[in-house]
């Protein structure tokens, strides 16, 4: 039954999150070119490129050459948060790939674009470096077309090198375009990456071709990792290279994703170095590999569970997002969408200090998942998507969503803050209900109080009513359970008292008193106080009148000549407690009729005649019986022959 209720709650939560209210279109822009001209988005970035603390939208397009319109189809666009075109840099060539890099260590980022064509079997390429204001910083020609690119400071001289992979060679260019070194490859270089393998000065270059190559900063091969023999040459192309903190060892591991469905994690087992600490040889090994269903379409490295180890996100043509543990070939979670996964982007969408994951599909839907893979909400754009990202592009401390489509449209959407707050509250309510059903009352209460506060902020009366009702039920359950616990503690205190284990008796009596006090149960609190007085009398007889004793609560040294005499005060408190207890006892017994007729008033005319003090009883009237000793109300634990403490 509980599972059925929980499933129903999850379904209700899911339905409530699928709403067109979550996003509102802010602006859109149509890029130049047509589908027939093969214009497509080659690069898509939501980054602060000009250090103004607001993110810009940078889009790179590429299309076919010829007929005098090449520069209209190929170029770089930069938009501000309002959708205004800040600048456009036209490229009169076919754009291949791009990246962003900070060349001057000033917080501003340059846009690096490669282009090229093959004419008469001769390759001709160009690399462009464009400043954040849209002006060309520099460009230089290359004797090959760079299909993959990376930028990093390889030798620690604060000048950046450009790493380019082509169908012929691997190149490393200095910042001004001079070739620093090159290496002829037997297969096309499909991915490049720079990494500091062992925290030594400088960085190593990693390139993927027929195998994974590791180069030192001077272009020497220091290690290779071969692909499995079961992978045909045509499928060995690596689309993505990146590093991961897998084991926390001294060496960085590499993750390589092929252009089909296989993922490799490569482990550096050993690094040999010269006296200068420069690596001369690496021993590489396969940590693990994993084949997903479908073809890899997108990739992301992110720490989802705050364990300081990155997880591997993969989007596939089988419509699934896979999240793999970097330490082993295991899927942590996966999520199935309604189309092929075109991109995955990490952003703190709701400003809760945890990243959510923005997923774009070719069916035109944006999904937002939390770090555990739970569905948060979705939005249908209405046409297939190529990319989706999120960032604050207008400085309002809220995330906007920016998407690109194969039809050259760029859309920006505002996130409805109230809607997302309500979504968070609904999620907390659902999880609170699930914890309540499972009996996890403390966790349920925490979640429901948080949800209630959000509902109050939004003036959501329905949400407030749901959370308040559930909190009341939890309070009823917890009060009942805690009252039972207090009764049990008191019973144990009584048992220890009978067995003359007064220290344990005091401990349980104090716990019982504390719990009764939470509920304002004054009668049971008094019962515990009276028992504690009796315990104190047993542990310290000197507090009883007539016995000299040093007060147990005092931390001061007492002497005969001077000190603090607490005896009168303790005696007065003792007497007051006994009197209050006796009065309460008499009233309760009167209400219950427990003292018999001797202590009860009779109506006028019907009262028995009792002789005056010192006189014999009147004729015909029996002597009233002495009242029986009342049952002890100090916890009802007085045993046979035991006396009340003297007053």
Percent of the chain with pLDDT over 70: 77
Segment 155-179, tens digit of pLDDT:
888 889 999 999 989 999 998 899 9
How many residues make up the chain in this entry? Answer: 647
Q: What is the pLDDT of residue 542?
A: 65
pLDDT band at 614 (very low <50, low <70, confident <90, very high): very low
Segment 342-397, tens digit of pLDDT:
999 999 988 888 899 999 999 999 999 999 998 888 999 999 999 999 999 988 88
Q: Is the pTM of this model over 0.85?
A: no
Segment 72-88, tens digit of pLDDT:
889 999 999 999 999 99
Q: Which two tokens stand for residue 444?
A: 């349920």
Q: Compute CA 611 distance to the chain's CA centroid, rounded to the nearest angstrom.
A: 84
CB 427 within 8 A of CB 464: no
H helix or E strand, kind and range, residue 265: strand 262-273
Q: Which residue did the predictor score with more confidence, 71 or 148?
A: 148
Q: What is the pLDDT of residue 604?
A: 40
pLDDT band at 424 (very low <50, low <70, confident <90, very high): confident
Q: Which residues contact 460 (CB under 8 A, 6 or more apart)?
A: 422, 425
Q: What is the pLDDT of residue 247?
A: 65
For 363, counting Cβ atoms within 10 Å of its Cβ (0-12 exposed, 13-18 middle, 19+ buried), the class is: middle
Number of neighbours of residue 467 by Cβ within 10 angstroms:
26
Percent of the chain with pLDDT over 90: 43
Q: Sign (positive/negative) of CA torsion 16, 20, 24, 29? A: positive
Distance CA 232, CA 240 (A): 18
Q: Which residues contact 522 (CB under 8 A, 6 or more apart)?
A: none
The predicted model gives 265-270 an average pLDDT of 86
CB 93 within 8 A of CB 74: yes
Taking 90 as the threshold, does the pLDDT of residue 555 lie above it? Answer: no
For 69, counting Cβ atoms within 10 Å of its Cβ (0-12 exposed, 13-18 middle, 19+ buried), the class is: middle
Segment 211-249, tens digit of pLDDT:
899 998 889 999 999 887 665 554 456 888 888 877 666
Distance CA 290, CA 332 (A): 13
Distance CA 24, CA 93 (A): 37
For the sheet containing 75-79, what is the strand order?
Answer: 40-47, 56-62, 75-79, 85-90
Taking 90 as the threshold, does the pLDDT of residue 411 lie above it? Answer: yes
Taking 70 as the threshold, does the pLDDT of residue 275 lie above it? Answer: no
Element counts in the chain: helices (H) and strands (E) = 8, 32
The predicted model gives 479-494 an average pLDDT of 87
Q: Which two tokens stand for residue 301?
A: 């490295």
Q: Which residue did the predictor score with more confidence, 165 or 566?
A: 165
pLDDT band at 621 (very low <50, low <70, confident <90, very high): very low
Cite the DSSP H helix spans in 298-440.
Answer: 417-438
Taking 70 as the threshold, does the pLDDT of residue 191 lie above it? Answer: yes
H helix or E strand, kind and range, residue 400: strand 400-404
Backbone angles phi, psi at 327, to 5 degrees: -80, -15
Taking 60 as the threshold, does the pLDDT of residue 9 lie above it? Answer: no
Average per-residue pLDDT for the chain: 80
pLDDT band at 587 (very low <50, low <70, confident <90, very high): low
Taking 60 as the threshold, does the pLDDT of residue 414 lie above it? Answer: yes
Segment 463-474, tens digit of pLDDT:
999 999 999 888
Angle at 139 between CA 136 and CA 145, to 5 degrees: 135
Backbone angles phi, psi at 506, to 5 degrees: -65, -40
Q: What is the pLDDT of residue 543?
A: 54
Segment 507-539, tens digit of pLDDT:
999 999 988 887 778 888 999 999 999 898 888
Q: What is the pLDDT of residue 400?
A: 93
Q: Which of 6-20, 50-64, 124-138, 535-549 has the lowest mean pLDDT?
A: 6-20
Segment 570-579, tens digit of pLDDT:
666 666 766 6
H helix or E strand, kind and range, residue 73: helix 70-73
Distance CA 37, CA 73 (A): 8
For the sheet containing 191-195, what is the strand order?
Answer: 191-195, 204-208, 211-215, 221-226
Segment 175-188, tens digit of pLDDT:
889 999 999 998 89
pLDDT band at 250 (very low <50, low <70, confident <90, very high): low
Q: What is the pLDDT of residue 437?
A: 87
pLDDT band at 67 (very low <50, low <70, confident <90, very high): low
Q: What is the pLDDT of residue 420?
A: 75
Distance CA 135, CA 141 (A): 18
Backbone angles phi, psi at 202, to 5 degrees: 85, 175
| CA proximity to 214, closest of 160, 267, 250 | 267
E strand spans, 274-386:
279-291, 296-302, 311-316, 320-325, 330-336, 341-347, 356-361, 365-369, 375-380
Three-class secondary structure of residue 513 per DSSP = helix
DSSP string covering 39-71: -EEEEEEEE-SSSSSS-EEEEEEE----TT-HH
Angle, helix 522-539 to helix 567-592, in steps of 10 degrees: 130
Distance CA 328, CA 324 (A): 8
Q: What is the pLDDT of residue 351?
A: 81
pLDDT band at 332 (very low <50, low <70, confident <90, very high): very high
Taking 50 as the threshold, does the pLDDT of residue 618 lie above it? Answer: no
- Domains in the chain with CATH codes: 295-415 (2.130.10.10), 424-539 (1.25.40)
Three-class secondary structure of residue 587 per DSSP = helix
Q: What share of the chain is helix, strand, coil (3-state, %, to 5)?
A: 25, 35, 40
Number of neighbours of residue 506 by Cβ within 10 angstroms:
19
Q: What is the pLDDT of residue 504?
A: 92
Q: What is the pLDDT of residue 232?
A: 56
């Amino acid at each position: 039954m509980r599972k059925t209720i929980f499933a129903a709650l999850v379904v209700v939560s899911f339905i409530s999150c699928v709403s067109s209210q979550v996003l509102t279109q802010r602006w859109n822009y149509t890029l130049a070119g047509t589908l027939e001209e093969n214009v497509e988005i080659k690069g898509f970035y939501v980054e602060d490129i000009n250090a103004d603390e607001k993110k810009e939208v940078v889009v790179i397009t590429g299309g076919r050459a010829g007929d005098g319109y090449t520069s209209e189809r190929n170029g770089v666009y930069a938009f501000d948060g309002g959708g205004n075109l800040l600048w456009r840099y036209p490229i009169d060539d076919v754009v291949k790939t791009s990246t962003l890099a900070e060349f001057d260590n000033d917080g501003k980022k340059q846009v690096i674009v490669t282009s090229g064509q093959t004419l008469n079997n001769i390759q001709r390429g160009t690399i462009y470096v464009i400043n954040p204001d849209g002006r060309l910083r520099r460009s230089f020609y290359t004797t090959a077309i760079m299909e993959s690119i990376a930028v990093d400071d390889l030798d620690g001289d604060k000048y950046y090198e450009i790493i380019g992979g082509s169908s012929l060679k691997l190149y490393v260019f200095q910042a001004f375009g001079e070739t620093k070194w090159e290496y002829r490859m037997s297969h096309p270089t499909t991915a490049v990456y720079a990494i500091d393998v062992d925290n030594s000065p400088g960085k190593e270059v990693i390139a993927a071709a027929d195998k994974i190559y590791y180069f030192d900063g001077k272009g020497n091969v220091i290690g290779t990792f071969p692909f499995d023999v079961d992978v045909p040459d045509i499928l060995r192309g690596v689309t993505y290279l990146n590093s991961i903190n897998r084991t926390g060892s001294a060496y960085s591991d590499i993750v390589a994703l092929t252009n089909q469905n296989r993922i490799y994690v490569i482990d550096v087992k050993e690094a040999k170095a010269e006296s200068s600490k420069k690596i001369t040889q690496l021993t590489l090994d396969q940590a693990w590999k994993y084949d997903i269903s479908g073809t890899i379409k997108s990739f992301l490295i992110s720490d989802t569970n705050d364990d300081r180890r990155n997880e591997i996100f993969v989007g596939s043509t089988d419509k699934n997002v896979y999240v793999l543990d970097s330490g082993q070939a295991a899927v942590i979670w996966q999520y199935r969408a309604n189309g092929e996964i075109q991109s995955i982007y990490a952003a703190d969408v709701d400003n809760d200090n945890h990243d959510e994951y923005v997923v774009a599909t070719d069916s035109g839907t944006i999904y937002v998942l939390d770090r555990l893979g739970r569905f948060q909400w979705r939005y249908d754009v209405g046409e297939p998507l190529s990319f989706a990202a999120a960032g604050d592009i207008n400085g309002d401390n809220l995330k906007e969503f920016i998407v690109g489509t194969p039809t050259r449209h760029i859309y920006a959407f505002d996130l409805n803050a109230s809607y997302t707050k309500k979504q968070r509250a609904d999620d907390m309510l659902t999880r609170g209900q699930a914890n309540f059903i499972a009996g996890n009352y403390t966790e349920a209460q925490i979640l429901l109080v948080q949800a209630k506060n959000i509902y109050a902020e939004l003036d959501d009366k329905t949400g407030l009513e749901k959370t308040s009702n559930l909190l009341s039920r939890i309070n009823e359950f917890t009060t009942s359970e805690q009252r039972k616990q207090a009764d049990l503690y008191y019973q144990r205190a009584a048992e220890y008292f009978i067995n003359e284990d007064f220290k344990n008796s005091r401990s349980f009596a104090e716990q019982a008193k504390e719990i009764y006090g939470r509920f304002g149960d004054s009668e049971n609190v008094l019962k515990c106080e009276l028992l504690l007085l009796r315990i104190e009398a047993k542990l310290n007889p000197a507090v009883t009148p007539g016995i000299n004793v040093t007060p147990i609560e005092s931390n001061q040294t007492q002497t005969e000549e001077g000190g603090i005499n607490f005896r009168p005060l303790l005696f007065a408190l003792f007497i007051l407690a006994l009197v209050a207890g006796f009065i309460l006892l008499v009233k309760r017994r009167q209400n219950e009729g427990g003292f018999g007729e001797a202590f009860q008033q009779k109506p006028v005319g019907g009262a028995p005649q009792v002789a005056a003090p010192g006189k014999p009883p009147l004729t015909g009237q029996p002597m009233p019986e002495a009242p029986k000793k009342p049952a002890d109300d100090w916890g009802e634990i007085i045993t046979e022959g035991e006396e009340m403490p003297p007053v």
